[in-house]
Amino acid sequence: MKTPLIPARLIERLRTARRVVVLSGAGISAESGVPTFREAQTGLWEQYSPEDLATPEAFARDPKLVWEWYAWRRNLVRQAEPNAGHLSLVEMERKIPEFTLITQNVDGLHRRAGSQTILELHGNLFRTKCSNKNTVVKTWDSTEVPPRCPCCAGLLRPDVVWFGEMLPHETLQAAQQATEQADIFFSIGTSALVYPAANLPIFALQAGATVIEINPQPTPISAQMTFSLNGAAGTLLPVLLTETWGH
């Protein structure tokens, strides 16, 4: 007999769950053609050094390089479309009374897919802020690279969270609160290596939630999960949805 992809006990719990939280990472966008960070061969950090591109020190050293790298990333994402994994989470949100999607992704694909309640822990590639005042800037006339803030002439930068920077306080607080109250918590497409996001599945476990990981590769938290589903989000999530709620 073929082993079912999704354990029956998980389907039963999901059918009756009131509060569901999903933490997503770069892996959920991999099937849309957006590169992940740490995968061998294809991960961004395999080809580029985070110290040169994703720290405040890197931006201070070479703002043009950093700005242009993010412009290249924005172009990649513009050409991508949400995949079956993103769309399944839109469906899940419609079925669950209290659903929170926490994402580490900066690509905006969850919103483009139609998800409503999204907490973006690491910012958004398509938002720009002033590096002096930390305020979001929507338009500018400057043609310099990077452009300058129309208010204070500070350098503009992508509104993403680099290593060594604090996560947006209210967003992180909301994520922690939703996690503590979850009946079911999914960790999908993340290597669970970057903190504080990597703490969330563990907090959920400690608070008594059923915690499910969806990833084709094991991660440092796999062994602690209630269920560890070994496979691609774009394959497993549609099956999970169909088996739980039918078509």
Residue 206 Cβ vs ligand BJW, minimum distance, rounded to whole Å:
17
Nearer to ligand BJW, 141 or 195 (CB): 195
DSSP H or E stretch at residue 243: helix 233-245
Stretch that binds ligand BJW, among 37-45, 56-64, 130-138, 177-185 (CB under 6 A): 37-45
Closest CA to 55 of 196, 168, 163, 167: 163
Does 36 engage in binding with ligand BJW (CB under 6 A)?
A: yes
Binding of ligand BJW by 54 (CB under 6 A): yes
Q: Which of 179, 191, 210, 244 binds ligand BJW (CB under 6 A)?
A: 191
Taking CB under 6 A as the criterion, the residue among 33, 49, 165, 220 binding ligand BJW is 165
With contacts defined by CB under 6 A, how many residues of the chain interact with ligand BJW? 38
Q: Which two tokens stand for residue 166?
A: 């604090």
Our CA angle for 26, 27, 33, nearest 5°, is 85
* CA distances to 81, 108, 111, 241 from 29, in Å: 9, 10, 12, 18
Q: Single out the residue of 1, 8, 40, 166 in contact with ligand BJW (rule: CB under 6 A).
A: 166
Q: Which of 11, 160, 174, 239 binds ligand BJW (CB under 6 A)?
A: 160
Binding flags for ligand BJW, 104-123, as an x/- string (CB under 6 A): x-x---------------x-
Q: Which residues contact 146 (CB under 8 A, 6 or more apart)?
A: 63, 64, 66, 67, 155, 156, 157
By CB under 6 A, tell whether 82 contacts ligand BJW: no
Active site residue 122: yes
- Partners of residue 120 on adjacent β-strands: 103
CA 35 to the chain's CA centroid? 13
Instruction: Report the catalytic residues.
Output: 122
